[in-house]
Structure 1
Amino acid sequence: MPKSKVRKKTDYTINPASRTPVKVKAGPSSSIYVGVMLGLMIFGLAWLIVYYLAATESTYGAEGEPLHWMYNLSAWNFLIGFSFMVAGLLMTMRWR
């Protein structure tokens, strides 16, 4: 039976160019950016809390009451509240 050839394995080398750190040229975020980011998240949470606590038909949902418009929005309040919170959370990705 013939003997098989032994192949020499090539060593795996790491490309040194891919191991160099990358400098970030942008500085830290301004305090206005952080304030808007946190404000959006808190405003969205406050919107949902007000909807749950105050915009019921028995108290403020009746016509002529201060929050009857919020009661008329019904399930759209969830979209509005969560949209503000998601916008604030998306801003955290750019926060430095």
Structure 2
Amino acid sequence: MPKSKVRKKNDYTINPANRTPVKVKLGPSSPVYVSVMLGFMLLGLAWLIVYYLAADSLTWMNNLGAYNFLIGFGFMIVGLVMTMRWR
């Protein structure tokens, strides 16, 4: 059986002159950013705990009904989304 020809592979290198530079902010996030991020998460948790424990005595919270879950989880999701930008 005849041997197949070996093909030479071309090196595909990226020309650095063709790349556009991207500015990247280095360094850790501000402590204020981290505080706000954690604050949103804790605020959502506190909202749900207060709803479960004291909704009967707080008429305005009792009137919101199931929207309390939306508000509480909404705060927590905002904090979670902020973690994507945290360094």
Q: Give the TM-score category using the shorter length.
A: 0.7 to 0.9
Percent of pairs with identical residues? 61
Larger Rg: 1
Residue 84 (str. 1) matches residue 75 (str. 2) = yes
Could you report, residue by residue, the CA deviation over 1:6-51 in whole angstroms, capped at 9, with x for unpaired residues? 131445857477xxxxx94332111110110000000000000000
The amino acid that maps onto 1:40 is F
By how many angstroms is 1:86 displaced?
Answer: 0.3
Matches within 5 A, 1:1-96: 6-11=4-9, 15=13, 24-56=24-56, 60=57, 67-96=58-87
Q: Aligned in 2, Cα 1:53/1:12: closer, same or farther, shift over 3 Å?
A: farther
Unpaired runs of 5+ residues, structure 1, are: 18-22, 61-66
Runs (4+) of structure 1 moved beyond 6 Å? none
Task: State the Cα RMSD in Å.
Answer: 2.8
Unaligned runs of at least 5 residues, structure 2: 16-22
Q: TM-score, normalised by structure 1?
A: 0.70
CA 1:14–1:53 in 2, change beyond 3 Å: closer, same or farther?
farther
* Shift in Å, 1:5: 6.5
TM-score (norm 2): 0.76
Give the structure with the higher percent helix. Answer: 2
Give the aligned length. 82
